[in-house]
């Protein structure tokens, strides 16, 4: 099941914490962050400058939100393990256990050795359209490449530990989990 509603905090850039004092902590004093849902006008025509499949942190790890840097802001998909929910051109964005099940290799298949084929498709491309619904998402770029979260779970890998499908709960609302943020250091 997805959980798409979190309490977010981001560092206050005016109150930095020196690197030698923070350890695994935030780069600045944390302040609440309650992003409004995005509007189409905020995103259309903007150019992707970078992708990040590991947005967010809780100090010892991260939730694996997905981000697209659009200038000084990040378009964030705040879904735990978002890359494993998304497909692009019919291929999973991330699928940690694809080899175990004979599934095709995902666009991003190992972060450790930078095996990321998706950046080459998206960086430098403008967002042509975005449609965020209750349980689905579709972003199309000027080169016709898409990022999609379908309402149905049939094309998503199962949660490996439980073998349960990655599906939305009735009260989940993806529209509240797609937003613009000034940083990828989002604490949950």
- Asked whether the predicted pLDDT for residue 176 surpasses 60, the reply is yes
Number of H helices, E strands in the chain: 4, 13
- Asked whether the predicted pLDDT for residue 151 surpasses 90, the reply is yes
pLDDT score, position 108: 94
187 part of a folded domain: no
Q: Per residue in 81-108, pLDDT tens?
A: 999 999 999 999 999 888 888 889 999 9
pLDDT score, position 101: 87
Total domain count, the chain: 1
Cα 6 to Cα 9: distance, rounded to the nearest angstrom? 10
Average pLDDT over residues 107-122: 83
In terms of Cα–Cα distance, which of 82, 87, 77 is closest to 107?
87
83 part of a folded domain: yes
- Asked whether the predicted pLDDT for residue 111 surpasses 70, the reply is no
pLDDT score, position 114: 61
Cα 89 to Cα 12: distance, rounded to the nearest angstrom? 38
The runs of H, that is alpha helices, within 29-92 are: 40-43
pLDDT score, position 2: 63
14 part of a folded domain: yes
Domain hosting 129: range is 8-181
143 part of a folded domain: yes
Q: Per residue in 19-64, pLDDT tens?
A: 899 888 899 999 999 999 999 999 999 999 999 999 999 877 889 9
Average pLDDT, the chain: 92
93 part of a folded domain: yes
188 part of a folded domain: no
């Amino acid at each position: 099941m997805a959980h798409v509603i979190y309490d977010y905090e981001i560092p206050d850039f005016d109150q930095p914490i020196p690197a030698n004092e923070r350890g695994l902590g935030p780069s600045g004093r944390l302040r609440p962050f309650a992003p409004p849902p995005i509007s189409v006008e905020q995103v259309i025509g903007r150019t992707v400058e970078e992708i990040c499949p590991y947005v967010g942190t809780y100090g010892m790890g991260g939730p694996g939100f997905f981000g697209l840097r659009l200038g000084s802001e990040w378009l964030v998909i705040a879904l735990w393990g978002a890359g494993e929910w998304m497909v692009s051109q019919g291929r999973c964005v991330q699928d940690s256990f694809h080899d175990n099940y004979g599934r095709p290799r995902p666009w991003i298949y190992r972060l450790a050795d930078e095996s990321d084929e998706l950046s080459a498709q998206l960086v430098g491309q403008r967002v042509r359209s975005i449609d965020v619904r209750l349980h689905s998402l579709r972003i199309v770029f000027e080169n016709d490449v898409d990022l999609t979260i379908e309402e149905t779970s049939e094309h998503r890998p199962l949660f490996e530990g439980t073998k349960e499908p990655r599906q939305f709960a009735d009260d989940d609302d993806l529209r509240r989990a797609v937003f613009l943020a000034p940083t990828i250091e989002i604490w949950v």
